[in-house]
Chain A
Amino acid sequence: MKAETFHRYLLGTVSLLLAAGVWLPCVHLFFKKDPETFRCKESIAPKARELAARHLQLWTDPGLRRQELEKMRASNAEWDFMGRSFLVWSLANMGLREPASKQAYLQVMDQIIDETIKLEQEHGIYFFLMPYAKARSYDVQPARSLFLDGEIALMLAARRILEEKPEYKTQLAERIRLMVERLKHGALPIAESYPDECWTFDHAVALAAIKLADHLDGTDHEVLLRDWIAMAKQKLLHRESGLLVSSFTLRGDPLDGPEGSTIWMVAHCLQLLDEDFARDQYQRARKELGRTVCGFSYAREWPKSWNGPMDIDSGPIVPVLQISAGASGMAFTGASAFGDDAFLSSLAATLDFSAFPSRRNGRLKYCASNQVGDAALLYAAVLGPLWEAIKGQSKR
């Protein structure tokens, strides 16, 4: 090799390496914004307002809604259902933050709740479940899914906390009765979401709904809630990480290890049941699953001590860094619920960098996401007032 060529290669390579060394650690500065742009403590953050505008449009334009739901149902019918739940819970929090818009939010909440219950009644529980739910029969008959009952109950309770509606009082009481009956059916306070498949996420949501119902209707399920926490600490903690596992059998035997797509929401729901346990789970999840590279934060689906299979919940996993779209999306809920502004701000930078925001007429969606993903982000951006309403009451 000629000396001139050698010098050119050397100079070119050194320039490229130096340029990369300068640029890569700076990229996040172009995407990082004040956490208040994503979540305000008192009002509704600008980004949350834009996300909500997009969702409200979906529920006022039947053609657009059908198109969005079809896209999701083609992959997973659960997403259709969860997109509804997250949106109703978000609107309840938004109504509590912004009473002037309450009536508009209530109208959409009622529309979603009524349509969801109607679909469940007309087509049965399997309409919102993945096809493998039909592969075998539920151990406890008649078949019911805690996934559906818990989220519908939390929708009904959230709506009633924003404003009482007598029809929903009886519907909520019936859902709670059914869930409590299942949870008390066996030796352990566990209920199925799929045949002999029970999810920590679904239990946490269901128990939060029971707590809200107690607040609304003066019932008392404290013993059941305490029993569940005790059972979870005894049977559902992953030994190596101390995190709650994501799924288990009716006998309380783990089916999976801890998962990022589950634990952040679980920690948030636990805030209503056992604040110390909730914070412990959040801090462990932050340590085991939260990562920051060059100023961008994300979440892994599994801790280092557990390696599960990539599935519909985790979404595609980016190799080497182990970035999970599902876990990273749900990490917003954890960071927001526990006031972890540094993590939230870095997660929001990652979102704007790699989820391809698309704005049109004041409406925001993330192209890399879908309706349920955006609704979960909206929930993370506005959560707080609903839980505070209960916790404030409990303290009094």
Chain B
Amino acid sequence: MNSSFFQRCRRFGRAKFLTPKDFLIRAAVITGFFLIAHLAGLREYTSFLSGTVASPDMGWQQAAFFGLVYLILYFAFVLLVPILLLAALLQILFRSFLRG
């Protein structure tokens, strides 16, 4: 059962570049990583933007790294994911239109 689940995941994971399926997979991966970062509490580390270390016990570089990771994933989630979803939808519409 496990092997068939992973096989299905792998099959789903194979998509041609710039196809609707490709866009959906990328959106899902970004969402997954963002959720992990969010649940891990990395949001607190974005205080590096104001020049403040989130935790005095942690080094400045490590705190800034966590903050930067969250920042990138957040903007990818808020800006890129909707674009990828919209692009997938648009491409499906274009294809069905072109096919007549």
State the A residues within 8 Å of B (CB): 8-9, 11-16, 18-20, 22-24, 27, 67, 70-72, 74-76, 312, 315-316, 325, 353, 355-356, 358, 367-370, 373
Contacts and interface: CB of A to CB of B under 8 A. Distances in A.
Contacts of A74: 52-53, 56
B42 to A, nearest CB: 10
B6 interface: no
B87 A325 contact: no
B47 A8 contact: no
B43 A19 contact: no
B43 A358 contact: yes
Given A11-B95, A23-B79, A368 B86 contact: no
Contacts of A370: 47, 50-52
Contacts of B94: 11, 14-15
A325 B49 CA distance: 8
Given A12-B87, A15-B88, A71-B54, 20 more contacts: A8-B16, A11-B95, A12-B17, A12-B19, A12-B91, A15-B23, A16-B18, A16-B87, A20-B83, A23-B83, A24-B79, A74-B56, A76-B51, A315-B50, A316-B51, A325-B49, A353-B78, A356-B74, A369-B49, A370-B47
B32 to A, nearest CB: 20
Contacts, number: 98
Contacts of B88: 15
A367 B90 CA distance: 36
Contacts of B51: 75-76, 312, 315-316, 370
A316 B49 contact: yes
A367 B43 contact: yes
A67 B56 contact: yes
A146 to B, nearest CB: 24
Interface of B: 16-19, 22-23, 43-47, 49-56, 74, 78-79, 82-88, 90-91, 94-95
Given A15-B94, A19-B86, A71 B47 contact: yes
Contact of B90 (A18, A76, A315): A18
Instruction: Specify the main secondary structure of chain A where it touches its partner.
Output: helix
A24 B82 CA distance: 9
A314 to B, nearest CB: 10
A368 B49 contact: yes
Given A11-B18, A11-B94, A367 B78 contact: no
A369 B86 contact: no
Contacts of A15: 23, 87-88, 90-91, 94
B22 to A, nearest CB: 8
A18 B87 contact: yes
A373 B56 contact: no
Nearest to A72: B52
Given A19-B90, A367-B43, A368-B46, A75 B53 contact: yes
B24 to A, nearest CB: 12
